[in-house]
Amino acid sequence: MTSRLPFLVNRPLLARLDREWQVLNHRPAVLRRARGWGLGVPFVSLDEVVAAAGYRSGTPAGSGTTAGPAGATEQPAAAANEVLRRLLLAARTDDVAGRVVLQRLLPGVIARARRWGVHRVGGSSDAFDELLSATWMVIREFPVERRSHCFAAALLRAGEYRAFEQASRRLLVLELTEPHLFDLSAQAETTVDAVDELAEVVAAARSLTEHDLRLIELFAQGRSSAEVASALSISERTVRYHRDLVVHRLRAAALAA
pLDDT of residue 100: 97
Angle at which helix 225-232 crosses helix 236-256, to 10 degrees, equals 100
pLDDT of residue 201: 60
What is the enclosing helix (H) or strand (E) of 252?
helix 236-256
Residue 160, C-beta contacts closer than 8 angstroms, at least 6 positions apart: 112, 116, 131, 134
C-alpha separations of 35 from 21, 95, 200 in Å: 17, 14, 46
pLDDT of residue 64: 35
- Global confidence as pTM: 0.61
Nearest to 52 by CA among 108, 2, 101: 101
pLDDT of residue 86: 97
What is the enclosing helix (H) or strand (E) of 2?
none
**3 by DSSP, 3-state: which?**
strand
Q: Are 12 and 128 in contact (CB under 8 A)?
A: no
Phi, psi of 133 (to 5 degrees): -60, -45
pLDDT of residue 171: 45
What is the enclosing helix (H) or strand (E) of 214?
helix 210-220
- Tens digit of pLDDT at every position of the chain (257 positions): 444 444 557 788 888 999 999 999 999 999 999 999 999 999 999 999 999 999 975 443 233 333 445 445 555 889 999 999 999 999 999 999 999 999 999 999 999 999 988 877 778 888 898 899 899 999 999 999 988 889 999 999 999 998 888 765 544 444 444 555 445 444 444 444 555 555 666 665 556 677 778 888 888 888 888 888 888 888 777 777 777 777 766 766 666 55
Domains of the chain, CATH where assigned: 11-165 (no CATH), 181-256 (1.10.10)
What's the residue count for the chain?
257
DSSP for 158-173, written as a single string: HHHIIIIITGGGT---
C-alpha separations of 106 from 3, 12, 99, 161, 179 in Å: 10, 15, 10, 16, 31
pLDDT of residue 211: 75
CA distance 173 to 168: 9
CA distance 2 to 115: 23
pLDDT of residue 119: 78
Query: What is the Cα Rg of the chain in Å?
Result: 20
